[in-house]
Structures are given as structure tokens and as C-alpha cells.
Amino acid sequence: MTQRPYIVGNWKMNGSRTMLAEARSIDRAAQRYPDVEIALAPPFTLIDALREAVSAIGVGGQDCHAEVKGAHTGDVSAAMLADIGADFVIVGHSERRRDHKESNAAVRAKAKAALAAGLGVILCVGETLAERDAGKAEAVVGKQIDGSLPKGEGIVEAIAAARLAIAYEPVWAIGTGRVAAIEDVIAMHAAVRARLIAAFGDSHAKVRILYGGSVNGENAGALLAAEGVEGALVGGASLTADAFLPIIAAASRPID
């Protein structure tokens, strides 16, 4: 069975309670697109309220701690996210890898904790511009996948339940207005798929591979039509319903 395209908005460190109105508009419109899975990841402070405000879209966190609880001031665990009704969590976003020096091993531990808490996981990978210019993009992303994909007990079941997605986000395309060339996106998604097949065998098909990096209403149609692109992780263009809805519309396919 083919899966629905997955369109996820990452609000990053943006959003106050007034933005719940945008979430409500996105949620109302989402009901017109049952063939698209739609979700928002607001800052921690808004997850609870957003959960209450919406019904048709998923709600998730942008990060979690790898431990269930304990002396980690300022952190939030996957179990806590699940407790307030989150559906999923983003792990390994390049801004966290950069700002918090998160290693592949740390990202893997977070992903494992999130799956153990019953959450879906969106695992982010992507190369820097210097790495792409040096011809190392696929090697870098391959290493990130191998090092940060959760392994071990429960992973096959989690994948079978479609609780794992990979977001390929070239670092140089995030928030810059620069979008990767379609042929490079296709090539990287194929490389990521090959890694998933190597890691999970037949179960790989349930893992969706999303593209992220300056996706907007204008470029979404071409990106989402590209081979191997099964959704998008969207930053700036997910902050308002006006900007986000054209991306959702681009992912929607007419129902027979």
C-alpha cells in the first residue's frame, strides 16, 4: 500500500499563543486534503495548546532528551512529549547538530527514546555546502544515516507502524531561499533509500523520505513530484496558513 505524502511544519523558535490561530486555519484546511498527512512541530511551549486546538493534523516536538527523566535542567524527554499528546518528534535537525554539538550517537539515542515512548520520529540528515562542493554529500549523509538511525529491539515494529521518517535537508538550503537541484534531490533520496534497504530489508518501504530546505508554495510542486520525495519538512513557509497551504495542496493528488 502506498503511503500518504507527509508534510510537516517546523516552527523552530517561533510562535506565541496568537499563532494558534494559524494552526487552527491549517487544521481546518487539512480536512480538505485527506490524502496528505500533515503535522506541525511548534516550540515546546505551544505543544499542549496546539494539541487542544487541532484535530486533523499531527503535533510534535522539535527535539527530546534521550533519558526518560532526571537531572537535565531545561530538557524535555520523549515520554513527556508523549504525555502531553505529541505524536512525533524531530531529531538531529542541523540547527541542533550545530548549536548543541549533537553527534550521530546522541541523535540515535534520542530517536530510540522517542520510539520507545511510542512517538513517531523524523530523523534529519544533510550535508554542508563545503561538503557538497567537495563531492562528499552522499558520503556525509550516508555516515549520518548509519550513525543516527535507531537500531535494535522494537525498530522493525516501529517502522512497520510507519513511525520513522527521514528528512534530507541540505544545510545550505535551510532558511536561505536556496533549493537543491531536483536531480541532486533525486540522487540523494535514492542513496538514502539504498541505506534503508541495507539496514531494514523489506521493512524499508514504510520509511518516508522527506525533503527540507526552503520549500515554499512555488517550488513545492516540482520537489514533491520528484522521484523518491515522499513529503517535505518546512520551516519558514509553515508559519502561516497562507504560506503552508499551497505546499499541502501541491502534495495532494486527486482522489479517484
Chain residues in the site for ligand PEP (CB under 6 A): 10, 12, 169, 174-175, 212-215, 233-237
Query: Nearer Cβ to ligand PEP, position 155 or 223?
Result: 223
The closest of 210, 185, 93 to 132, measured between CA atoms, is: 185
**Nearest-approach distance from CB 152 to ligand PEP, in angstroms:** 27
> Known catalytic residue: 131?
no
**Nearest-approach distance from CB 62 to ligand PEP, in angstroms:** 9
Q: With contact defined as beta carbons under 8 Å apart, do 208 and 2 qualify?
A: no
CA angle 154, 155, 158 (to 5 degrees): 85
Query: Nearer Cβ to ligand PEP, position 87 or 169?
Result: 169
**Nearest-approach distance from CB 172 to ligand PEP, in angstroms:** 10
Beta strands in the chain (DSSP E): 6-10, 37-41, 58-61, 88-91, 120-125, 164-168, 208-212, 231-234
Query: Nearer Cβ to ligand PEP, position 33 or 211?
Result: 211
> Known catalytic residue: 93?
yes
Q: Catalytic pick from 37, 102, 131, 169?
A: 169
**Strand partners of residue 7:** 38, 232
Q: Catalytic pick from 22, 37, 65, 93?
A: 93
**Nearest-approach distance from CB 86 to ligand PEP, in angstroms:** 17
The contacts of residue 61 (CB under 8 Å, 6+ apart) are: 41, 44, 47, 76, 78, 81, 86, 88, 89, 90
* Burial group, residue 143, by CB count within 10 angstroms (0-12, 13-18, 19+): middle
Query: Nearer Cβ to ligand PEP, position 66 or 234?
Result: 234
Instruction: Name the residues annotated as catalytic.
Output: 93, 169
